[in-house]
C-alpha cells in the first residue's frame, strides 16, 4: 500500500485494485477474462505482499463460491469478471444475497451476449446486474466513469457491502477499465473504511439473523465460537430453514428494509450544469464523459443543457431523477445498449419527453452524437 500520495498514471482496472486494497480487501478469487484481467493480474502481485490470498479458480462459478467462503471467514473479498463470467456467477451471487454475505463483484462490460465482442465496450449488463440472479432480492449496483472513480467507488462498494451485508456490484466498461489517467490517490489514512458489525454478546446468546433497527444482523466470523448456520434456503433468525409464512415474510421484508434504510447514502448521483437546465442528459459510466463534453458544446450554442450523472444504478436513484424530470422539458439518455436505463427513467417519468441514444455496435458514444441530439431536442 502506498503510504504517501504520489501522482501516477493508472488504468481503471488498476485503480479498482488500489481501491479494494485501501478498503481492506484481502481475498481475491477469479478467472481471467478480457477486459477485466488486469484486476486479477495486479491482485495476484499485490495481495500476497499484504498478507492476503489470491486464487485463480477453475471457473467463475467456483470463484464466486470462494469469495463467499472467504467473506464468511471474516475477510473482505473481491472478484472481477466480464459478461460471460458474470453469467456464471449469478447462481452463487443469489446465495450471497440470501445468506447476506458481504462481497464485491466487478463486472467490466464488453459486447454481448455470450462471448460477444471481447475487446469492445458496451453497457449491456445493467439489468443482469440488477436481476441476473433469480428471486426477489435487493442488490446495490454502482457504476464507474473514470480512473479516480474506480478507486473511490470501489472503497464505497466495500463499505456498503460491509454496512448492509449485501453483495455490491461495480459495473465498469471496457473504456473505463483500459483508460489510463494521471491521478493522485488519497492516502489510506484519509479514507473511511467500514467493517461489518460483529456480535458483542457471548456466543450462547448470539442469534445470527436477529432483526434490529437497521435490519442488518451482527455477523460472526466462522470459527470464532459463535454458532452460525448458513443455508441458501429461506431461514429463521437462528439460520435454519423455514417455510412458516410469518418467518419467511419477516426475512424477505428485512432484506429490502435494510437497503431502503440506507437510501440517503446509497443513492449517489452528480449534477453538472443542472441549475438552470431545460434539457437534461442522464448518463452513467464512460458515456457520462461524452455527455459532459457535449453539454459544454451545447451551452456554447445557447442550449441550456445539463447532466445528471448516475453513480448508483440500483436501487434506482429515483429521488434525484424525479426532480430532473420535473425541471426539464425533455431528457436524453445515451447508453451503449438498447435502452436499459432509459426504461428505468421512463418508469419515474411524469410528463417530460424521454429520448434515447442507443449504440450496440461495439463503439463508444461520441460527444458529437449527443451534441447533435441535444440541438434537435
Partner 1 sequence: MKDDRYEIRFGGSGGQGIILAAVILAEAAGVYEGYHVCQTQSYGPEARGGRSKAEVVISRSEIDYPKVIQMDLFLAMTQAALDAYFFDFKPNGLLVVDSTFVKQIPSSRVITIPFTRIARDEIGKEIVANIVALGAVALLSRKFSSENLEKAVLSKVPAQFKDINLQALHAGMKAASEVDLSHLPRSIISDEEKEV
Q: Which is nearer to partner 1, 206 or 364 (CB)?
A: 364
Per-position x/- string for 29-68, each x denoting binding to partner 1 as judged by CB under 8 A, each - no binding: -----x----------------------------------
Q: How many residues bind partner 1 (CB under 8 A)?
A: 23
d(CA 122, CA 116): 10
Residues of this chain, 104-123, that bind partner 1 according to CB under 8 A: 118-120
Choose between 187 and 363: whose C-beta lies nearer to partner 1.
363
Considering the complex, state which of residue 50 and residue 182 has its C-beta at the smaller distance from partner 1: 182
Q: Based on CB atoms, which residue is closest to partner 1, 35 or 94?
A: 35
Shortest reach from residue 117's CB to partner 1, in Å: 9
CB of 8 to partner 1, least distance (A): 6
Pull the grid cell for residue 110: 464488453
Nearest approach, Cβ of residue 360 and partner 1 (Å) = 17
Is 180 one of the binding residues for partner 1 (CB under 8 A)? yes
Among positions 179, 237, 271, 372, the unique one binding partner 1 when judged by CB under 8 A:
179
Taking CB under 8 A as the criterion, the residue among 131, 178, 237, 242 binding partner 1 is: 178
- Exactly one of 50, 182, 193, 201 binds partner 1 (CB under 8 A); which one? 182
Contact 310, 269 (CB under 8 A): yes
The set of cell numbers assigned to 291 is 455527455
Distance of closest approach, residue 146 Cβ to partner 1, in angstroms: 8
| CA pair distance 96, 2, nearest whole angstrom | 31
Minimum distance between the CB of residue 353 and partner 1, rounded to whole angstroms? 25
Using CB under 8 A as the binding rule, whether residue 172 contacts partner 1 is answered as no
Provide, rounded to whole angstroms, the least separation between the CB of residue 323 and partner 1: 24
Q: How far is the CB of 135 from partner 1 (least distance, A)?
A: 36
| Angle CA 256–258–260, to nearest 5 | 65
Compare residues 181 and 211 and give the one whose CB is closer to partner 1: 181
Contact 23, 154 (CB under 8 A): yes
In the window 270-299, what residues touch partner 1 (CB under 8 A)? 286, 289-290, 292-293, 296
Which residue from 181, 211, 247, 369 is in contact with partner 1, where contact means CB under 8 A?
A: 181
Minimum CB–partner distance for residue 32 and partner 1 (Å): 14
Listed ranges 1-9, 91-99, 256-264, 332-340: which one lies at the site for partner 1 (CB under 8 A): 1-9
Q: Which is nearer to partner 1, 74 or 367 (CB)?
A: 367
Residues that bind partner 1 (CB under 8 A): 7-9, 34, 118-120, 175, 178-182, 286, 289-290, 292-293, 296, 364, 366-368
Amino acid at each position: 500500500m502506498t503510504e504517501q500520495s504520489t501522482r501516477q498514471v493508472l488504468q481503471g482496472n488498476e485503480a479498482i485494485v488500489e481501491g479494494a486494497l485501501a478498503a481492506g480487501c484481502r481475498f481475491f478469487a477469479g478467472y481471467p477474462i478480457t477486459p477485466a484481467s488486469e484486476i486479477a493480474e495486479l491482485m495476484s502481485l499485490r495481495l500476497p505482499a499484504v498478507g492476503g490470498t489470491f486464487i485463480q479458480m477453475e471457473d467463475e462459478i467456483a470463484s464466486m463460491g470462494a469469495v463467499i467462503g472467504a467473506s464468511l471467514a471474516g475477510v473482505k473479498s473481491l472478484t472481477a469478471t466480464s459478461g460471460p463470467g458474470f453469467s456464471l456467477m449469478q447462481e452463487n451471487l443469489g446465495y450471497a444475497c440470501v445468506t447476506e454475505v458481504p462481497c464485491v463483484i466487478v463486472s467490466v462490460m464488453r459486447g454481448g451476449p455470450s462471448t460477444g465482442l471481447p475487446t469492445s465496450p458496451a453497457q449491456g449488463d445493467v439489468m443482469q446486474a440488477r436481476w441476473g440472479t433469480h428471486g426477489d432480492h435487493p442488490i446495490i449496483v454502482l457504476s464507474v466513469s473514470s480512473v479516480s472513480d474506480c478507486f473511490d467507488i470501489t472503497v464505497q462498494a466495500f463499505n456498503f457491502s460491509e454496512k448492509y451485508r449485501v453483495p455490491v456490484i461495480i459495473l465498469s466498461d471496457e473504456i473505463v477499465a483500459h483508460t489510463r489517467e494521471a491521478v493522485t490517490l488519497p492516502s489510506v489514512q484519509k479514507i473511511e473504511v467500514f467493517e461489518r458489525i460483529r456480535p458483542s454478546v457471548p456466543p450462547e446468546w448470539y442469534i445470527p439473523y436477529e432483526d434490529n433497527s437497521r435490519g442488518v444482523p451482527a455477523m460472526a466470523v466462522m470459527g470464532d465460537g459463535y454458532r452460525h448456520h448458513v443455508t441458501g434456503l429461506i431461514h429463521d433468525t437462528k439460520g435454519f430453514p423455514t417455510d412458516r409464512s410469518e418467518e419467511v415474510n419477516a426475512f424477505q421484508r428485512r432484506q429490502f428494509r435494510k437497503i431502503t434504510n440506507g437510501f440517503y447514502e446509497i443513492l449517489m448521483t452528480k449534477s453538472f450544469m443542472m441549475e438552470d437546465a431545460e434539457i437534461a442528459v442522464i448518463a452513467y459510466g464512460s458515456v457520462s464523459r461524452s455527455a459532459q463534453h457535449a453539454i459544454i458544446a451545447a451551452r456554447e450554442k445557447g442550449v441550456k443543457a445539463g447532466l445528471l450523472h448516475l453513480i448508483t444504478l440500483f436501487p434506482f436513484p429515483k429521488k434525484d431523477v424525479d426532480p430532473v424530470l420535473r425541471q426539464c422539458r425533455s431528457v436524453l439518455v445515451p447508453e451503449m445498449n438498447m435502452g436499459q436505463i432509459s426504461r428505468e427513467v421512463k418508469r419515474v417519468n411524469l410528463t417530460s419527453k424521454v429520448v434515447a441514444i442507443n449504440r450496440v455496435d461495439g463503439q463508444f458514444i461520441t460527444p458529437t452524437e449527443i451534441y447533435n441530439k441535444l440541438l434537435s431536442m
